[in-house]
Amino acid sequence: MAKITYITKEGESLVFEASSGSLMELAVKNKVPGIDGDCGGVCSCATCHVHVAPAYYEKLEAPSEIEADMLEFDDNVNEYSRLCCQIPVSDAVDGITVEVAN
Amino acid sequence: MRNMGVSDFPDAFKETREAKGVCPFNDQDDPVAMLLRFKDVRKSAHDYKSFISGAVPGRIVIPSEVNIRDTRQIPFEVDPPEHTEYRALVEDWFKRPFDSTYEAGLESIILSELEKVLKKGSCEAISELSLPIQSRALTLLLNIPLKEAETWISWGTHVFRSEDSNLDADKASILYDYIDAEIDRVIAQPDDSLYSVLLNSEYQGRKMTKEEVKGVLVLTFAGGRDTIINYLTNTMAYLGEHPEAMDQLRNNPALVNTAIEELVRYFSPLTHMGRVVAQEKEVCGHVAKEDTRISLCWASANRDEAVFENPNDVVLDRKMNPHVAFGFGTHKCLGATHARQLMKVFLRVFTQKVGKLTVVNAVENIEDWGEHQRKVGFDRLEIELNPIE
């Protein structure tokens, strides 16, 4: 079971636990504002854009070319930007904090 | 696996996309340079300052509608910063399809239409399934009584087109006159429909005008009609020729999430959308001169081999699918949440109720884009349906 913290645009911290799926699916299931996951996780919509806490960003696998290209054109991109549909829930991300980007 | 027969939608732009990347098309003496490569399409869609939507109303649509309408479609034909405020006004409303009551409403509509044709055993899929489902589902998006759909169904499949003309001003005026009358009716008797919500909305600190409200409604009606009808009809043709896909979707309900994205990529119900060049710019070797038009060819971009592996195959569980079938960037499709939910529920209900679909006769709808002819859907699709045993 991994604990994931989402920080909304309003600055609210929302904490959820899961053992499978992606960070996007967990957010959508719990209606985290600003994470819509319109395309269901196939990297076509960029409605699950987050900024990953720097300490955790390095622990994640680097984004694929398709994800990086999607992010290139989104708003509020920074060096810690990720589409959270591409971050699987696992023990490796237990304790991670992500901030909703848009 | 590769498609065969009636559900095969060939990549009409392959050779030109690979060789040149840009294709000229003369539309009513207002030429268009069609951009065919995925990267160019996305980059140009993102660049709303160079390639604008806020031109003369109707000009970014191809074929151009400048001669048949003056109403500006909102937020579609407005650019930021004005676009941002308009879009924010309607965004939440257009996310209602996520609600479980909305989903249940869609299920009831689809179930009822499907049961009617299952009793008959055969039907013409566009007039007896796609059009009535699209129209009745639209009553949910507008939040108005279901019976209102009867009027829209009576208009036929094309709001702007008649059999002998691609652009028919008389036919278009039916829609505009209808929306004008509905706006007046709702002003006299406010309700909880999209009309009322818009009439009560404030833009730049003042109430939305009737013309602005009309602009949003025209977009909602026009943008979600042919596109959804093609999406549904083409999907039925596909399921008819791919009984194994019916089984997979039936046995693995989670597959619909990737399946709807793959089917919309493959069919690309809207071939392209235009932009007007605000200032001269070079794209893919083409010098786009000021006040000329380019188009963002979603259909071609969605088959670009540089991005999609086996682009001409329907892979229902395609994991990475950055398609642009709903457009891209600021102006991405406002109705996409509705379309996706409709398609999800349609696939679920259809595969639960229908055991076998047989295509009896099909008349293809081929669009003519100068050098390129593209199959976008069907004019007729006669099918036989057997209920699940």
Least CB–CB distance from A66: residue in B257, B258, B320 = B320
Could you report the per-residue pLDDT of B345-368, keeping only the tens digit for each?
Answer: 999 999 999 999 999 999 999 999
Could you report the per-residue pLDDT of A56-68, keeping only the tens digit for each?
Answer: 999 999 999 999 9
Question: What are the distances in angstroms from CA A56 to CA A16, A60, A97, B300, B320?
Answer: 17, 7, 8, 38, 24
Could you report the per-residue pLDDT of B141-169, keeping only the tens digit for each?
Answer: 999 999 999 999 998 876 666 555 666 77
Is the pLDDT score of A28 beyond 70?
Answer: yes
pLDDT at B164: 58
pLDDT at B156: 83
% of chain B surpassing 90 pLDDT: 92
DSSP secondary structure letter of residue B361: E
Within 46-85 of A, beta carbons closer than 8 Å to B belong to 64, 66, 69-70, 73
- Topology adopted by domain B5-387: Cytochrome p450 (1.10.630)
Residue in A with minimal Cα distance to B43 = A73
Residue-range domain boundaries for chain B = 5-387
Question: Nearest-CA distance from B245 to chain A in Å?
Answer: 19
Is residue B345 a contact partner of residue B108, using CB atoms and an 8 Å limit?
no
Question: Helices B226-241 & B336-353, crossing angle to 10 degrees?
Answer: 30
Mean pLDDT of B76-104: 97
Asked if B321 and A43 come within 8 Å (Cβ–Cβ), the reply is yes
Question: ipTM of the predicted structure?
Answer: 0.92
pLDDT at B161: 61
Round the average pLDDT of chain B to a whole number and report it. 95
Question: Nearest-CA distance from B1 to chain A in Å?
Answer: 20
Q: Tell me whether residue B267 is exposed, middle or buried, using C-beta atoms within 10 angstroms of its C-beta: 0 to 12, 13 to 18, 19 or more.
A: buried
According to DSSP, the β-strands at B51-52 and B32-35 are unpaired
User: What residues of B are in contact with residue A66 (Cβ under 8 Å)?
Assistant: 307, 320, 322
Cα separation, B208 vs B214, in Å, equals: 10
DSSP secondary structure letter of residue B73: P
Strand partners, B164: none
User: What residues of B are in contact with residue A36 (Cβ under 8 Å)?
Assistant: 95, 98, 337
Residue in A with minimal Cα distance to B325 = A44
Is the pLDDT score of B3 beyond 50?
Answer: no
Is the pLDDT score of B61 beyond 60?
Answer: yes
Mean pLDDT of B65-72: 92
| pLDDT confidence tier of residue B43, bands split at 50, 70 and 90 | very high
Could you report the per-residue pLDDT of B251-278, keeping only the tens digit for each?
Answer: 999 999 999 999 999 999 999 999 999 9
Is residue B295 a contact partner of residue B62, using CB atoms and an 8 Å limit?
yes
Domains contained in chain A, CATH given: 2-100 (3.10.20.30)
| pLDDT confidence tier of residue B171, bands split at 50, 70 and 90 | confident
User: What residues of B are in contact with residue A71 (Cβ under 8 Å)?
Assistant: none
Could you report the per-residue pLDDT of B199-250, keeping only the tens digit for each?
Answer: 999 999 999 999 999 999 999 999 999 999 999 999 999 999 999 999 999 9
Q: Chain A interface, mutation test: which of B317, B320, B328, B340, most A Cβ atoms within 10 Å?
A: B320
| pLDDT confidence tier of residue B1, bands split at 50, 70 and 90 | very low
Residue B95 contacts A, CB cutoff 8 Å? yes
DSSP secondary structure letter of residue B127: I
pLDDT at B160: 61
Question: What are the distances in angstroms from CA B197 to CA B85, B103, B264, B283?
Answer: 15, 21, 30, 41
% of chain B surpassing 70 pLDDT: 96
Asked if A44 and B323 come within 8 Å (Cβ–Cβ), the reply is yes
Least CB–CB distance from A42: residue in B98, B320, B332 = B320
User: What residues of A are in contact with residue B98 (Cβ under 8 Å)?
Assistant: 36
pLDDT at B170: 76
Is residue B272 a contact partner of residue B297, using CB atoms and an 8 Å limit?
yes
What is the greatest pairwise CA distance in chain B? 62
Round the average pLDDT of chain A to a whole number and report it. 95
